[in-house]
Structure 1
Amino acid sequence: MSATKNVANNGPSGYEWEYARKDLGNTKWQNFKLFLYNPETGEVLNRTPKSWGGIFLFYCIFYSILACFFAICMSVLLQTLTDEYPKLQLDESIIGVNPGLGYRPMSPDPEADSLIWYKRHNNESAALWIDQIEDFLEVYKDPTLLPDNAQQMDCDFDNPPHMERVCKVEVERHVGPCTSAFGYGYVAGTPCVFVKLNKIFGWKPDYYQNLDELPDDMPVVLKSYITHATTLNASRWHTVWMSCSGADPHDAEAIGDVDYFPQPGYPGYFYPYTNSPGYLSPLVAVRFRNATRSTLVNVECRAWAKNIRYKKSGLNREGSVHFELLID
C-alpha cells in the first residue's frame, strides 16, 4: 500500500520520473501544443503561472541590485575623472613622455600610406593636396571655429601667454610662399608640408642651452641657424628645434634645398600643453624648393630637445616622422 501511495503522489501521470511516463499516443504537434499551454494543469512552457511569477520576481530583484551596483561603481569612477586633464599623465600614461611629429597633408588612400605624389603644373593633381591643407588650417585661420570662445593672443619669447589665454599660430604671415595665395607651392613644384609636434599633456621640453650641448648628429645647417638666432636673442634657446632631411644618402641628394617657415623649430612659450580652450599646436611649414623630379624621396623630419628620444625604426619610430615625396 505504501508503494502505491508513493506512486500516486508523483504528479498527474503517477510516475516518479518524467522519462518513465507512459506514452499517451499524442502526435508531435499535440505534444508541442501541450508544451506551449496545458489546459489541464495551466502550465505554460512546462511551468505554472506561480513558477513563472517567482522566476520573474527573482530576476527583477537580481538585475535591480546589479544595476545599482554598476551605477555606484560608475559614479565612483567618474569622480576620479575630469575633462580638464587626464588621470594618468606622462610616465604613467600610455602615450609616455616622448612626443613624435605629425604632418599634413596626408594621402587619403590607405594603400598610398605616407606618399605625397602629384604632377607639377597640373592644377587638378595639386588640388587634392591643397584642399587637405586648407581643411587642416581652417581652425588656425578662423578662431571662431574653436570651442569655448578661445582667447588667443600674439605671443613672443618676451610675451608669453597670459592666464587663461593661448598663443595664436600664424599661418598666413611669416610662412613665406607656404600660403593659400600661392597654392602652398604645389602647382609651382615647390610643395610645402606642415609639420607639428604631437601634444602630450604636461610635457615640458628640456632645451639645449648652449652650442656645446648640441648633438653631433644635428645637421650643420640647423646648427648654423641656431648659432645665429641665439646670438641675436638668447631667449630663442627655449625652442624645440626641427629638421627635415633625406632618410638615406641617395634621398639626401634628391631632396634638394629645404626651407622652414617661420623657423626650424617650435617656440617654448607654447609649452607645456595643458588642454587650455583654443590651444593649437605650433606649425613649421617645410618647403622643398628643388626636389629631384620623378624620383621618390624618403623624407625624415626630426624634433630636437634633450628630452626627446630619437629612434629610427619603421614600426616603432620615436621623435620623428617619415613620409615620401614624388613630384612628376
Structure 2
Amino acid sequence: MPKGKGDEGGFLKFLWNSDTGEFLGRTGSSWGKIIVFYIIFFAGLAAFFLLMLYIFFLTLDLQKPKWQMTNGLIGDNPGVGFRPQPDQDKNVDSTLIWFDRNRKENYEFWSNQLDIWFNAIPKEGGSDVTKCSFGTGGTDTYKDKNKKKEQISSCFVDNKQFGECNPENKFGYRLGEPCILVKLNRIYGWEPIGFGLNGKQYNQQQFPEIFSNEMKELEKEIENNPQQGMKPMPMFLQDYIKKEAEKQDHPPQWKTDFLNSVFFSCEGENPADKENIGPISYYPHPYIPSYYFPFTNQRGYQSPFVMVQLKKPMPGVLINVECRAWARNINHNRPDRLGMVHFEIMID
C-alpha cells in the first residue's frame, strides 16, 4: 500500500511539479522553445516538399505527355477497342456480348451503352468542333495550316450517318442484328500512314503497282512471323480501297487523304465462326477518315469510330469475332492484341 501511494504521488508530481513549475517534466519556457522548433521544422519540411512539387510540375506539359510514341509506355502501335462491353464489375476479363433479343430489359443493357456513347458526341455548330472533309486535310481546324500540332478544334463526328445503328433502332439488338462500335485507342501525336501512296501522295499511274506490292510484302511478313497471328488484308477491303482510289471523280488530294485513313475489317475468327457470323455491314464506311488524326488533346475531341453490324448471325451459337485495323504503321500481334480486338457474341 505505501508503495502504491508513492507511485501515485510520483506520477502526479511528474504531471505537475509545483516546486519547479514543470508540466510533464518541462517548464513553460522549455515547452515554448520546443513548440517553436517543431513549427519551424515542419514549416520548412512543407516548404521543401512544395518547392520540389513545383519544380516537378515545371517539367510537365498539361496539354501533352512528356514521353510520346516509342519513348512512352503506350508505344506507337495503337490497339483497338469495342463497345458495348460486359459488366466489368462482375468479370473484368469477359469479352462476351450475350443477350436475348426477346427480352427488352436484357438487350437494353447493351444498347444503352451505345446510347451513352452517342450522347457524349459534341453537337455540330459548337465552338470546339468543325465539319471536316477529304481534300482539305482538315486544315480548317488548325491555327496554322502548315502545322497540324497547333490544332485547336476537333473534327465533327456525325451520329446520324450510322444507318441502322441508331438509338431509335436500339442499335439492332432488339432484332438480333447487333451493332458493335469499333474504335482506335488514342495515342498522342500518332498519324496513320496509308497504303498505295508514292511517298506521301497519291499517284494514279503508280497506285495499282504500289498497292499490289504492299499486299505481297504483307503476305511475306505473315510467313516470317506466324506466331503473331497476322493475316492478309481481306479481299473485300482490298477491292473497296482500289475502287475508291481509282474513281475518276475524286481529285488527287481527296485520294491521298482517303488512303491515309485507318481501315477496319471484322470476321469470324475460326472457320465455324465465319459460317455462323453472316453478312457484315460497316457504317458509315469501313474506315476512320484521316482528318481525325493526329490526336493532340483538342478541345471537344470525340474518338471517331466505325459501326459494325452483324446482319444475320446464327442464334444460339457462340461466335468468336476478330476486328483488325489497317494502315502501314499498324502491326498486328494477336498475343499482345495490338492492332486488333477480339470479342464473342451469342444471341438467344
TM-score by length of 1: 0.83
Q: Which residue of 2 aligns with 1:67?
A: 46
Structure-1 separation of matches of 2:289 and 2:159: 15
Q: Does the 8 Å contact 1:178/1:184 carry over to 2?
A: yes
What SS does the corresponding residue of 1:99 show, helix, strand or coil? Answer: coil
Q: Which residue of 2 aligns with 1:317?
A: 337
The structure-2 alpha-carbon separation of the partners of 1:30 and 1:280, relative to structure 1 and needing over 3 Å to count, comes to: same
Partners of 1:279 and 1:252 in 2: how far apart? 35
2:76 paired residue number: 97
| Aligned counterpart in structure 1 of residue 165 of structure 2, from 155, 161, 178 | 178
Change (3 A) 1:103 1:31: farther
Equivalent-residue separation in structure 2 for 1:244 and 1:28 (angstroms): 85
Q: Which of residues 94, 107, 110 in structure 2 aligns to 1:129?
A: 110
Post-superposition offset of 1:166: 2.1
Structure 1 323/30 Cα, relative in aligned 2: closer, same or farther at 3 Å? farther
Displacement of 1:103: 1.4
* 1:48 equivalent in alignment to 2:27: yes
- Greater Cα radius of gyration, structure 1 or 2: 1
Q: Does 1:308 align with 2:330?
A: yes
Q: Which amino acid aligns with 1:169?
A: V
Superposition deviation, residue 29 in structure 1: 4.5
Aligned amino acid, residue 129 of structure 2:
Q
The offset of 1:32, in angstroms, is 4.0
Letter in 1 for 2:116: D
1:306-328 per-position Cα deviation (integer Å, ceiling 9, x unaligned) = 21121112xx3211122211111
Q: In 2, are the aligned partners of 1:102 and 1:321 still within 8 Å (CA)?
A: yes
Contact 2:245/2:259, CA 8 A, preserved across alignment = yes
Describe the shift of the 1:247–1:231 C-alpha distance in structure 2 as closer, same or farther (beyond 3 A): same
Q: 300-309 or 45-54, which moves further after superposition?
A: 45-54
Query: How far did 1:47 drift?
Result: 3.1
- Asked if 1:201 is matched to 2:188, the reply is yes
Ranked by relative contact order (alpha carbons within 8 Å, sequence separation 6 or more), the top structure is 2
Could you list the per-position Cα deviations for residues 177-220 of structure 1 after superposition, in whole angstroms to 9, with x for gaps in the alignment? 11122221111110001111111111111221223213332122
Q: Specify the code of the residue in structure 2 equivalent to 1:117.
A: W
CA, structure 1 residues 277+41, in 2 after alignment: closer, same or farther (shift >3 Å)?
same
CA change 1:124–1:33 in 2 (3 A) is same
Q: Which of 47, 55, 59 is the equivalent residue of 1:76?
A: 55
Larger CA deviation: 280-289 vs 88-97: 88-97
Partner of 1:220: 235
Other structure's SS at 1:183 match: helix
Distance 2:69 2:122 in 1: 31
1:111-190 correspondence to structure 2 within 5 Å: 111-112=90-91, 113-140=94-121, 142=123, 150-161=127-138, 162=140, 163=142, 164-173=152-161, 175-190=162-177
**How far apart are the structure 2 equivalents of 1:84 and 1:96?**
18
Counting matched residue pairs gives 299
The one-letter code of the counterpart of 1:130 is: S
Show structure 1 runs of 5+ residues with no match. Answer: 1-22
1:264–1:284 CA contact under 8 A, matched in 2: yes
| Further displaced range: 104-113 or 255-264 | 104-113
- Bigger drift between 107-116 and 162-171 goes to 107-116
